[in-house]
């Protein structure tokens, strides 16, 4: 059988997307985690691929009749001109042999090349697209091409089409559905709820969704960090249910014209972006109120030259009052990912020299953290994510509970 051609090097992101759509590869999209890139130095090696995706692209390795079954395949990373090389798709099934590992990974990315973004700790948090070429008759993947977004512009281009891909989330769909169709968002855990009747005719705002989550599933027995993550997970699950109620019937019925299809797709994409754009800030506001900070913050203050930091403590009035002590002012910026975005916050509030940055990114490299520290940025991440950061970073990383305590002490 003649080997299929992979992609030419030095092509643009749009050209690459056009090619995978033409071939209709199965595309798996996620943000690179600290375990993927080797940031935390754990025993894991290579890119983690969930079992649900592995069963679609390399089903022959999902078995336990031998230890760690694998398949070799050709792969390349044209986003960074990494040439075609052989990688290993392996199922670490040690759990079936009295071990502990039970996961699938694609390894050997560094063998024979000087550099690959897939094993670069500095690329932790980057959006990565894995395009699997599958044989028409079914079976294991024939070849793999990977695009790792290297800039905020490249990520925005993808997320404009799909909606935000947050750390820990992923999408897996045929290329033509992802980039020429109406994309199904990755599923969350199922929820047994009765959607409010009003939401069936009018899509709820982000604030309404979050209020509903807190009313029905408060998670009040959890600390601030776990409470935030659980509520976001539940909000996302409910959002999917409401979206399905609004669009499933329309999609299944088909479209009378290209214009009608485009209008529906754009409406879905815009709603997803709107939901993700302010969701994290809304959740944090609710936590602040519950933790006794309701009277010592303002959201979206206007500071210098119409800049709008996410949160100013103790408030806008104090910030605008030039006689108010600078050492009593604090700022919290909110970024779901911070790899290429953290520098945006440095000049959002000129009176505050050491801003806090809250993120959901699953790890940053020591170099990135040191750059932040050099600009006096203090990084805050939910405590359950701290294990995904290098040990040297963890010692200086704040949890949400830590941040709340520091703000309380500032205004005692």
The set of catalytic residues is: 319
HSE (CB half, 13 Å, CA atoms) of 404? Answer: 20
**What are the DSSP calls for 273-305, one per residue?**
HHHHHHHHHHHHHHHHHHTT-TTS-EES---GG
Tell me which residue of 60, 81, 165 sits closest to 173, measured CA to CA. 165
Q: Is 252 helix (H, G, I), strand (E, B) or coil?
A: helix
Residue 238 neighbours by CB distance under 10 Å: 22
Burial class (CB in 10 A: 0-12, 13-18, 19+), 239: buried
Using CA atoms, how far residue 69 sits from 95, 101, 104, 263, in Å, is 13, 13, 10, 46
Q: What angle do CA 315, 317, 321 make, to 5 degrees?
A: 120
Tell me which residue of 276, 230, 225 sits closest to 380, measured CA to CA. 225
**What are the DSSP calls for 363-377, one per residue?**
---HHHHHHHHHTT-
HSE (CB half, 13 Å, CA atoms) of 163? Answer: 24
The DSSP 8-state label assigned to residue 379 in this structure reads E
CA distance linking residue 296 with residue 315, whole number of Å: 6
């Amino acid at each position: 059988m003649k080997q299929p051609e992979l992609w030419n090097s030095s092509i643009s992101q749009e050209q690459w997307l056009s090619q995978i759509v033409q071939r209709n590869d199965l595309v798996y999209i996620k943000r690179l985690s600290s375990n993927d890139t080797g940031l935390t130095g754990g025993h894991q090696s290579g890119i983690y691929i969930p079992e649900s995706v592995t069963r679609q692209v390399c089903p022959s390795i999902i078995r336990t009749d031998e230890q760690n079954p694998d398949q070799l395949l050709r792969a390349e990373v044209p986003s960074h001109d990494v040439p075609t090389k052989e990688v290993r798709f392996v199922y670490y099934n040690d759990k079936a042999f009295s071990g502990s590992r039970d996961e699938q990974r694609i390894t050997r990315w560094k063998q024979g090349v000087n550099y690959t973004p897939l094993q670069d700790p500095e690329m932790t948090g980057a959006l990565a697209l894995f395009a699997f070429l599958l044989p028409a008759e079914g079976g294991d993947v024939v070849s793999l091409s990977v695009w790792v977004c290297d800039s905020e512009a490249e990520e925005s281009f993808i997320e404009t089409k799909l909606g935000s891909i947050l750390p820990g989330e992923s999408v897996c769909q045929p290329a033509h559905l992802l980039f020429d169709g109406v994309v199904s968002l990755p599923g969350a855990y199922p929820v047994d709820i009765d959607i409010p009747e009003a939401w069936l005719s009018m899509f709820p705002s982000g604030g309404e969704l979050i209020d509903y989550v807190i009313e029905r599933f408060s998670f009040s027995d959890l600390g601030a960090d776990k409470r935030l993550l659980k509520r976001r997970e539940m909000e996302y699950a409910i959002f999917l249910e409401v979206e399905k109620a609004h669009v499933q019937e329309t999609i299944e019925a088909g479209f009378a014209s290209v214009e009608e299809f485009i209008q529906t797709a754009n409406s879905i994409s815009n709603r997803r972006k709107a939901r993700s754009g302010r969701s994290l800030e809304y959740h944090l506001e609710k936590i602040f109120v519950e933790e006794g900070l309701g009277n010592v913050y303002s959201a979206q203050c206007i500071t210098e030259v119409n800049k709008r930091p996410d949160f100013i403590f103790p408030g806008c009035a104090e910030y605008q009052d030039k006689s108010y002590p600078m050492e009593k002012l604090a700022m919290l910026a909110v970024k779901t990912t911070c790899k290429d975005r953290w520098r945006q916050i440095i000049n959002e509030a000129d009176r505050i020299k050491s801003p806090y940055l809250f993120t959901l990114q699953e790890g940053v490299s020591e170099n990135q953290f040191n750059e932040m520290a050099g600009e006096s940025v203090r990084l805050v991440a939910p405590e359950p994510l701290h294990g995904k950061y290098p040990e040297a970073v963890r010692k200086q990383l704040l949890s949400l509970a830590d941040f709340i305590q520091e703000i309380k002490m500032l205004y005692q």
